[in-house]
A and B are shown apart, each in its own frame.
Chain A
């Protein structure tokens, strides 16, 4: 059984998008800075290329996953990836209410967190699940469903915007650093989520 791995690119002050993010401006004001290192063709995530070897290795890992688990906001802001994130793997979209129209391509809507996690794990088979998006990350963290977090810390302060870690319960979650890589563009930190600690 594969792991659910959160992949996010964040500023040092913890923002994954600048202020006023929305459709057509998924990264908010100045948030594009977080993806400066990336070249993406026509918004197709499978075409994402990092400009340096370390970034490229991490991106390649993300693209070897066997399923994508994301939140509705990220899905919509990304133009629903035209139904295909990479290699036609299943895309599980966590949403409060499923839209009336059928999901595009390989996407499916799921309205409960545990169900979304279970479906994504099952769909990925032996491979890992790529978890992406702040809201989905928070929901999965609260449910204790994240196994690892691969955080790319971009050397910038955005000051304001959408935080990766927000609205979490006041509970201590212990982590274990599995890997740290220094790339020219950012530091890559991969943690295992160990769960609640003593308070």
Chain B
């Protein structure tokens, strides 16, 4: 089992365009990033990686991603536990299979336990950064869309200096005959422990 970040980003590293918010969750132009998901249920690389995500047995999400997604109605997929990492736990009880956690290590630990032998997928830039800082990410599956957004919300931002070594374990490419907007590069990295400083 692995705790695996699962994110779509532009080649210049953005996971949403500028001015993202409740009314425009992907920011200006940001929905371009999700065009590859049109083929999520089809045979081929994009279908393969999507099926892997949906086979995970727990989800860790940042609060912003969770809210922008309408809290997934309390069920991301198959009723698996959703651990939402938040600075402030809301007063109302969480919907469906959601639990709140205020600490990255605690969130990862709860998700690992809940997933058992299965994988945990991590969603959202905030959660990704928090888990990276806590040394709790095992893998990263990045869907790199061949586009520059120029501005927006970065996946990797506000991290401490000091390098984290990675190992590319898989690269899947959509076919060159695919319509341009559906093309994407799926890169999977294993996170090797941060180098000693």
Q: State the A residues within 8 Å of B (CB).
A: 11-14, 18-19, 29-30, 33, 141, 151, 153, 155-161, 163-165, 168-177, 180, 182, 187, 189, 191, 194, 197, 199
Interface 0/1 of B33-54, CB less than 8 Å to A? 0000000000000000000000
Cα separation A173 to B147 with both chains bound (whole Å): 6
Contacts of B130 in A (CB 8 A): none
Given contacts A13-B13, A29-B161, A191-B11, contact A172 B29 (CB under 8 A): yes
Chain B residues numbered 67-124 whose CB sits less than 8 Å from any CB in chain A? none
Chain B nearest CB, measured from A36 CB (Å): 11
Cα separation A159 to B157 with both chains bound (whole Å): 7
Q: Which of B29, B185, B189 contacts A12 (CB 8 A)?
A: B189
Q: How many residues in B have their beta carbons less than 8 Å from beta carbons of A?
A: 38
Cα separation A172 to B180 with both chains bound (whole Å): 14
Residue of B nearest to A34 (CB): B163
Q: State the B residues within 8 Å of A (CB).
A: 11-13, 17-18, 28-29, 32, 132, 142, 146-152, 154-156, 159-168, 171, 173, 176, 180, 183, 185, 187, 189
Q: Are A199 and B159 in contact, with the CB atoms below 8 A? A: no
Q: Are A170 and B18 in contact, with the CB atoms below 8 A? A: yes
Cα separation A33 to B39 with both chains bound (whole Å): 37
Residue of B nearest to A182 (CB): B171
Contacts of A159 in B (CB 8 A): 156, 159-164
Q: Are B161 and A155 in contact, with the CB atoms below 8 A? A: no
Chain B nearest CB, measured from A84 CB (Å): 32
Contacts of B132 in A (CB 8 A): 157
Q: Are B171 and A157 in contact, with the CB atoms below 8 A? A: no
Chain B nearest CB, measured from A72 CB (Å): 23
Q: Are B150 and A156 in contact, with the CB atoms below 8 A? A: no
Contacts of A30 in B (CB 8 A): 161-163
Contacts of A199 in B (CB 8 A): 28-29
Cα separation A189 to B145 with both chains bound (whole Å): 12
Cα separation A174 to B80 with both chains bound (whole Å): 36
Cα separation A191 to B173 with both chains bound (whole Å): 13
Which 7 residue pairs of A and B lie closest in terms of their CB atoms, listed nearest first?
A13-B156, A165-B12, A170-B151, A168-B150, A155-B166, A159-B159, A175-B146
Q: Are A155 and B189 in contact, with the CB atoms below 8 A? A: yes
Q: Are A174 and B146 in contact, with the CB atoms below 8 A? A: yes
Cα separation A134 to B104 with both chains bound (whole Å): 34
Given contacts A157-B132, A172-B29, A175-B148, contact A180 B13 (CB under 8 A): no
